[in-house]
């Protein structure tokens, strides 16, 4: 079996082991294992990392757009409040799933499994 690119698997929300099975069973709820190859998805968890990166990217992209919007058109504040909260929410929702999948695939490719860290900590005690 050819090695699956973590980037390709992450962007397509596919299994990082085989590249075929679906990673998610819901919007952000991950499957416990791959339906195609049986890989165990419970060994790694992306945690809050994807949310942090998505918020950071949203800030980098949307804040300058809001500033340019204000400088060019000088709308009243209520226009900003009407336009930008939905834009920010939709942008973040659009990026969150691929970001979670990318971080998970990166963990998988680098063998950064939680179980290994826990075993290592237990062995030191």
The pLDDT value given to residue 14: 95
Which regions in the chain score pLDDT beneath 70? 1, 113-125
Cβ–Cβ under 8 Å, residues 122 and 22 = no
The pLDDT value given to residue 98: 96
The pLDDT value given to residue 45: 85
- Residue 40: helix, strand or coil by DSSP? strand
- Residue 27: helix, strand or coil by DSSP? coil
Residue 5 CB-density burial (10 A; 0-12 exposed, 13-18 middle, 19+ buried): middle
The pLDDT value given to residue 122: 53
Cβ–Cβ under 8 Å, residues 114 and 36 = no
Cβ–Cβ under 8 Å, residues 103 and 50 = yes
**Per-residue model confidence as pLDDT tens digits over 100-120:** 999 999 999 888 865 454 444
Domain ranges of the chain: 6-114
The pLDDT value given to residue 36: 94
Residue recorded with tokens 């929300």: 13
């Amino acid at each position: 079996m050819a090695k699956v690119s973590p980037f390709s698997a992450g962007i397509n929300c596919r299994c990082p082991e085989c590249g075929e099975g679906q990673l998610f069973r819901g919007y952000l709820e991950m499957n416990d294992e791959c339906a195609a190859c049986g890989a165990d998805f419970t060994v790694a968890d992306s945690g809050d990392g994807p949310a942090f990166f998505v918020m950071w990217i949203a800030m980098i992209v949307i804040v300058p757009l809001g500033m340019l919007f204000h400088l060019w058109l000088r709308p009243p504040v209520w226009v900003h409040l009407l336009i930008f909260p939905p834009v920010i929410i939709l942008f973040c929702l659009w990026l969150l799933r691929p970001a979670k999948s990318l971080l998970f695939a990166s963990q998988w490719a680098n063998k950064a499994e939680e179980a290994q860290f826990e075993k290592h900590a237990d062995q030191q005690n």
